[in-house]
Structure 1
């Protein structure tokens, strides 16, 4: 492919995931229930069986008048044979024979050079002189370049690239699965809708808002007593005479939230071992910004509450709700550069680490050394498993449960057990890609030969594939993926529901009381000031770098979004306060988080990325 062709952009008015009738080569009836867009590679390396399955399913859909199919070309740029076939198919398309030529160019004896293409055109009854001219014409080369640019815009994964009704098909290349994707039964539609919602970056924050509004509505619309009875209901675990009893609120705050902190711990460890926090030059800016964003709000709160009993609540405005902050950044889309999202993600993780340390050191009470000795022994056993390279997850989960009980009995905040368990789970480098690819290819080749004789997939092969998949990621990542949706869509909403049910009419909330004012100013003012001031210092001193596409306006807006304390601030408030004072501080957190979100979104909505040059 020539350099000039590579510079041809994707047409701005052509969608990359849906056919365009005025441009694309189409087959089937217009107005069919399904629209299908297929990017054909024309490569000999493509699996002919997969291509045959795809062609059979699409042919049946066309015959039943349920789908209209468009095909674009996507040859690899360094595959001259595939590039020639793509141009030949398009040249035939100018004479209305694209699909016939596509079939001839992807069969068992497909031509691979110019004479072969001309012979194929002659067999199809095309004007060979016109076909020969079109093979190298400017419009043919431009169409190939445009299709490649459109494919690049929609996804660059190798293998078949297929869109059904504008949605990329990522399922198995199996006739039953493809047919189901085209028929779209109710079960598939429900799975698709739920997957879309779970994958939407802002969905976790939306569910938290709904849970918070539900709690406020229940309490303030006449069901306050029932809400309190439910929250204080005791749930017990017992064995003979031994009984362990906690209220529903405690089970959520001290029990389920441990799972949330387990995931936070896994994220922290991954960032420190192999992420943004693993490189000192890249880690300096988010770590400094996180420290500034914790110290300044704490100082503001302490200054306002100096000399009062409420001064111990200085940890409340230090925290950032990572789910809300990153969710709002995702909603801004291309208005914010990707490097800003990476920076804020690393900053929020460093902030979480600081919040965990604050909770463990300053908001634990009634220390009992006997259970803590047991906790230390359990942790030592987990470290021993780590050192012995035991990668199975179940021993760490089992010991983590025992660690939770010991930490809880020892007077430390029980959620610390989640973080310690995450740190004990071993890390290892992912498997070598080439070795895994070769092993998988050999395994699947053997299974394809078995399939020719009518045999099913061997159980042993399934087990080996499972082992390969497990080896592609660290054990902690697999655990995180298993628990992530449960945390985002059940545990955190339950926490929000049972901790934000505040009776507004009788709360006696005073925004200018020392605790409330300290929390509000700490989050709304202290967070952006601390983050930006710390960033300025380390950048000016040359201790850190930032991408040129991240402007100071971006940093200020991100600093304001970091003032969304919500779940983390409420969590610390619950450890620091009780009674009416706790309700007042919670209202302050909700108010400050709302104001911070509005200011941050307003600033970033009008921001524009700086010209990308590198890092400074």
Structure 2
């Protein structure tokens, strides 16, 4: 019923299907790769190269096809005559080929389980019939039968088609037919196909809905379809979120240091208010972004942290030990370095600024380095980043509030208790939690605790449940699909309406409630909220600014990110390995580990967020510039070390 696939994964968890199951460009993805775009760079180019090779390999003298052989719109189906799913998809493709009337070439290739004797006989029968110019006739009756194919069954079908039986028998056993099957399997292997049906349109794997209109859009590629595909490619690109953050930061610096500086400041400080009767609640644009919209970002971070602690990489202490120790070292060393330069000074309370790691930039840069970074190192950094997020959340909650107002705090605790009770009662609907989350945000904001903590608490209280088994839902979907085939047209329409609802409910059950919320909000966070945060928080006036790289807070932040992060991460992990508390993957050498530690010094989003909570005025602008300088330097040093270490490893191999 479902076309199998493997995935690329965005930094906040959305799955995007790109190639068939078994694709050599991607192996089985562990839980923490929800935060890594795994198929990118070299791996994605490999898939594209194989797709183009598949188009060039079309041979009109060998392949069985419908349409004009020189048509550029090629549709290739790898199928199995014993598969009902292949039969359904083949019916759709035949109708499309007929409707396109020469505008598309439809190619059918054999691919089946080598141990399936019935499928082997059927495939040989189709190819043997093709040697008498009757492939499509035999193709039609084979799919029409839809049952087992014994030797007598095959001959009966051959007679029905009108083949020369003596020649047909010889061809069934011939080496030529065997070579044709082997060649089809080679093509399938080159495209990394392991299951059928597998559909390729113009060399690209198709994973849309199996309905005629959807496939027609993929074949005809109207403007809207091309825009949608281009946006999916951009959103699926490893560095897309980081690129937007860079562009937003550059735009803010340009605007703030040009004739638009006054406009920028007025917009940033413009107050928007909500009024109801005599009540009024107003915040500046910057505050709405930092305190309100960033709560959504922390909500998604909280969902990911909970998932990994409950059922992901951080749920297993043995595998989580090394990244947790690395995260603790990577938070402690920068804080100590900062404190050493600012002890007793005016900026002493900013020790939390260099502790943070920006996940989007760090993992995006590692993904862009492609095969030069071992997969196990990506897993380690992803786990470390999640533990680092958790540490940053605790630090913000405990040390960067604005005093504590008891009455609103009691209201916040009441909201938390109510959400906890709903979780105990197994209320899985998201709406009640979101409504209470908004109320919790208002109480938290009034209490003096940083308002974004409401997002983290809400995420932790959204109940998790074990997802349904995919094979059970697939079996249900197959039953539903079989039911939507009565001859009575009115009855079919009624069943179809029920089928859509049943499938939606079944597929919705495959994921926990938090995943669905994350799926709905992640692109808004990555491509709107975080760029807005960067734009309205990095518009620093450079000309005539009071920034001094030798000021204690600036030195503390720069050295904390550039030296403290790698020193703390690598030092703590080295000690843990030496003491036998954890093990280092055989794929990773210490040079690569140091490079990853330097990349973790890219603080950016979280560091600027903590800086905004810790400082204000000229001191805040100075610390933000220090964050930018330290992050950029860390990115350059870390990427250079990883690239050099990866190249050296490749040469030795």
TM-score normalised by L of structure 1: 0.90
Within the candidate set 590, 597, 601, 2:628 is matched to 590
- Which of 446, 454, 462 is equivalent to 1:425? 462
- Provide the residue aligned with 1:56 in structure 2: 95
Structure 1 residues 229-252: Cα deviation after superposition (integer angstroms, max 9, x where no partner): 000000001110110011000000
Indicate the residue corresponding to 2:7 in structure 1: none
C-alpha deviations, 1:495-538, integer Å up to 9, x for none?
00100101111222222222112111111121112111121122
Residue 558 (1) aligns with residue 596 (2): yes
Question: Quick one: distance in 2 between partners of 1:121 and 1:144?
Answer: 22
Whether 1:473 aligns to 2:511 is yes
Match of 2:50 in 1: 15
1:325 and 2:365 aligned: no
Contact map agreement 2:55 2:202 (CA 8 A) in 1: no
Change (3 A) 1:59 1:597: farther
User: Map of 1:11-410 to 2, 5 A cutoff?
Assistant: 15-16=50-51, 18-21=54-57, 25=63, 27=65, 28-46=67-85, 48-61=87-100, 63=101, 65-89=102-126, 102-108=139-145, 112-113=149-150, 123-124=162-163, 127-128=167-168, 131-134=171-174, 139-140=179-180, 142-151=182-191, 153=192, 156=194, 158-410=195-447
Contact 1:88 1:135 in 2 (8 A): no
Distance 2:577 2:489 in 1: 63
Structure 1 segments unaligned to the other structure (5+ residues) = 1-8
Offset from partner CA, 1:172-198 (integer Å, 9 cap, x none): 211222222211111111111112212
> Helix, strand or coil: the match of 2:283?
strand
User: For 2:272 and 2:146, how far apart are their aligned partners in 1?
Assistant: 71
Q: Distance in 1 between matches of 2:626 and 2:577?
A: 33
**Deviation of the 1:30 alpha carbon:** 4.4
Partner SS state of residue 485, structure 2: helix
> Does the 8 A contact of 1:400 with 1:417 survive in 2?
yes
Counterparts of 1:20 and 1:86, CA distance in 2: 23
Say what the alpha-carbon RMSD is for the aligned residues. 2.9
2:549 is the alignment partner of 1:514: no
Q: C-alpha deviations, 1:195-242, integer Å up to 9, x for none?
A: 221222221111111111111111112101100000000000111011
Deviates more, 1:50-59 or 1:483-492: 50-59
User: Would you say the 8 A contact 2:356–2:392 is kept in 1?
Assistant: yes
Q: Deviations over 1:269-316 (max 9, x none)?
A: 000000000001011011111111111111111112223211211111
Cα distance in 1, alignment partners of residues 470 and 57 from structure 2: 41
**Would the alpha carbon gap of residues 21 and 125 (structure 1) be closer, same or farther in structure 2, given more than 3 Å must change?**
farther
Q: Is there any run of 5+ residues in structure 2 with no aligned partner, and where?
A: 1-23, 26-45
Specify the alignment match of 1:463 in structure 2.
Answer: 501
Question: Is 1:111–1:117's contact at 8 Å kept on the other side of the alignment?
Answer: no
User: Which residue is 2:17 aligned to?
Assistant: none
Aligned-residue offset at 1:461: 3.8
Q: Post-superposition shift, 1:116?
A: 5.8
Kept after mapping to 1: 8 A contact 2:132/2:163: no
- Judged with a 3 Å threshold, the aligned counterparts in structure 2 of structure 1 residues 396 and 232 are, in CA distance, closer, same or farther, namely same
Change (3 A) 1:89 1:16: farther
Verify the 8 A CA contact 1:550 1:609 in the aligned structure 2: no
Answering whether residue 521 of structure 2 is matched by residue 486 of structure 1, we say: no
Matched with 1:411 is 448
Q: Is the 8 A contact 1:564 1:596 kept in 2?
A: yes
- Matches of 1:39 and 1:116, distance apart in 2: 23
Change (3 A) 1:329 1:88: farther
Question: Using a 3 Å threshold, how does the CA distance of structure 1 residues 227 and 26 change in structure 2: closer, same or farther?
Answer: farther
1:5 alignment partner in structure 2: none
TM-score (norm 2): 0.85
CA distance in 2, matches of 1:102, 1:533: 65
**Alignment check: 8 A CA contact 1:258 1:417 kept:** yes
Q: Secondary structure, in 3 states, of the residue corresponding to 1:390?
A: coil
Kindly tell me: are residues 434 and 190 of structure 1, through their superposed partners in 2, closer, same or farther at Cα, counting changes over 3 Å?
A: closer
Q: 1:251–1:107: structure 2 CA closer, same or farther, 3 Å change rule?
A: same
CA deviations over 1:458-488 (Å, ceiling 9, x no partner): 5444333332222111100000000000101
Residue 444 (str. 1) matches residue 484 (str. 2): no
Structure 1 residues 460 and 374, CA gap change in structure 2 (3 angstroms): same
> Alpha-carbon deviation of 1:395?
0.7
Q: How many residues align?
A: 599
Which deviations, in whole Å up to 9, do the C-alpha atoms of 1:550-609 show, x marking residues without a partner?
A: 332332222121111111100001011111111111111112211222222222223349
The verdict on how the C-alpha distance between 1:365 and 1:453 changes in structure 2, with shifts beyond 3 A counting, is closer
Whether the aligned pair in 2 keeps the contact of 1:14 and 1:20 (CA below 8 Å) is no
Displacement, 1:16?
4.4
**1:6: which partner in 2?**
none
Q: Tell me how far 1:39 sits from its aligned partner.
A: 1.4
